[in-house]
């Protein structure tokens, strides 16, 4: 696949892939997460009405109030809209979470900036917490509308780590398509430690305040993925489900393989072809990438 990248970025990709080969076996996983039921505890409501989402992606989740069919599911992702403090309130849904565990399903939760009390309650019932990790003050204010700081995200992440398995997620281009603070987030995670890392990519979404913004350039995306692989040589790095469609998505997936990621959700054809050409053993999963 012909992708225009700067010489510096191409050099980084080479170093990143060598780093992968030195630290992992010769396999890559492609996930089609059709066995993970995605549930919202708030329906399609979110008080924050974030600039990049505006509640749009909640509409694709199953409301917790509905009659949920768990047939052919082995796991759940329980998420929802945030309150005015950036928290997804799970406190009133502990019995539901427990019920999913009683069905022998794995549980991944998206909690936001929760307090210690909720962390302690939910952590006993969850297999993993997906945590959006942001350290840039302007991004936190402009995108989420929250009067919070990097310290708030670091504090929550650190507290989560004490109680459960937590996987930080970084959205490339979250600040209206601009790479603005992602490298600082990586630097902070190096200090704090992470057992895995998930990247997603900003999608200009109709009906949101960022609808007319553009996604990041492929060179910027590739450079960040490669840097992460080099800086985190021995932890799994995943490319999550949220990323633009079309030509850019194919380019992102292709360069992600070149950068040495360990897992891609809903991969496009060129990435699968490249993995085969590189001699990688392809494994397939059917759950949320952190499970």
Please report the pLDDT score of residue 40 as a whole number: 98
Please report the pLDDT score of residue 182 as a whole number: 98
Please report the pLDDT score of residue 91 as a whole number: 85
List the structure tokens of 191: 């200090």
List the structure tokens of 61: 């989740």
State the Cα–Cα distance between residues 70 and 282, nearest whole angstrom: 28
User: Which are the contacts of 164, defined by CB distance < 8 A and separation ≥ 6?
Assistant: 119, 122, 123, 126, 128, 129
The domain limits of the chain are 34-244
In angstroms, the Cα distances linking 68 to 39, 63, 113, 253 are 9, 8, 27, 33
State the Cα–Cα distance between residues 277 and 153, nearest whole angstrom: 40
Q: How many residues does the chain have?
A: 291
In angstroms, the Cα distances linking 230 to 102, 233, 254, 289 are 40, 5, 18, 21
List the structure tokens of 203: 């999608």
List the structure tokens of 226: 């490669």
Q: What is the CATH number of domain 34-244?
A: 3.20.20.70
HEC-encoded secondary structure of the chain = CCCCCCHHHHHHHHHHHHHHHHHCCCEEEEECCCCEEEEECCCCCCCCCCCCCCCHHHHHCEECCCCCCCCCCCEEEEECCCCCCCECCCHHHHHHHHHHHHCCCEEEEECECCCHHHHHHHHCCCCEEEEECCCCHHHHHHHHCCCCCHHHHHHHHHHHHHHCCEEEEEEECCECCECCCHHHHHHHHHHHCCCCEEEEECCCCCCCCCCCCCCCCHHHHHHHHHHHHHHCCCCCEEECCCCCCHHHHHHHHHHHHHHCCCEEECCCHHHHHHHHHCCCEEEEECCCCCC
- pLDDT tens digits, 141-182: 999 999 999 999 999 999 999 999 999 999 999 999 999 999
For residues 283 and 272, the answer to whether their CB atoms sit within 8 Å is: no
Low-confidence ranges of the chain (pLDDT < 70): none
State the Cα–Cα distance between residues 74 and 71, nearest whole angstrom: 9
């Amino acid at each position: 696949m012909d992708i225009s990248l700067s010489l510096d970025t191409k050099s980084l990709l080479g170093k990143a892939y060598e780093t992968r080969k030195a630290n992992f076996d010769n396999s890559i996983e492609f996930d089609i997460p059709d066995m993970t039921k995605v549930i919202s505890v708030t329906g399609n409501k979110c008080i924050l009405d974030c600039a990049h989402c505006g509640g749009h992606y909640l509409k694709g989740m199953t409301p917790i109030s509905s009659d949920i069919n768990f047939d052919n599911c082995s796991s759940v992702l329980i998420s929802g809209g945030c309150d005015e403090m950036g928290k997804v309130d799970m406190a009133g849904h502990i019995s539901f979470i427990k019920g999913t565990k009683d069905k022998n399903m794995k549980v991944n939760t998206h909690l936001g900036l929760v307090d210690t009390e909720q962390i302690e309650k939910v952590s006993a019932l969850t297999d993993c917490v997906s945590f959006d990790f942001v350290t840039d003050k302007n991004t936190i204010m402009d995108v989420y509308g929250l009067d919070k700081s990097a310290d708030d995200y670091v504090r929550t992440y650190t507290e989560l780590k004490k109680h459960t398995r937590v996987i930080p997620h970084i959205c490339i281009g979250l600040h209206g398509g601009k790479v603005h603070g992602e490298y600082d987030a990586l630097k902070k995670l190096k200090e704090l430690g992470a057992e895995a890392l998930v990247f997603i990519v900003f999608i200009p979404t109709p009906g949101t305040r960022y609808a007319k913004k553009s996604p990041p350039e492929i060179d910027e995306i590739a450079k960040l993925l490669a840097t992460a692989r080099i800086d985190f040589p021995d932890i799994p790095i995943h490319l999550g489900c949220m990323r633009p469609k079309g030509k850019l998505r194919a380019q992102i997936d292709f360069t992600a393989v070149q950068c040495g990621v360990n897992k891609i959700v809903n991969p496009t054809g060129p990435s699968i072809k490249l993995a085969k050409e590189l001699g990688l053993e392809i494994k397939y999963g059917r759950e949320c990438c952190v499970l």
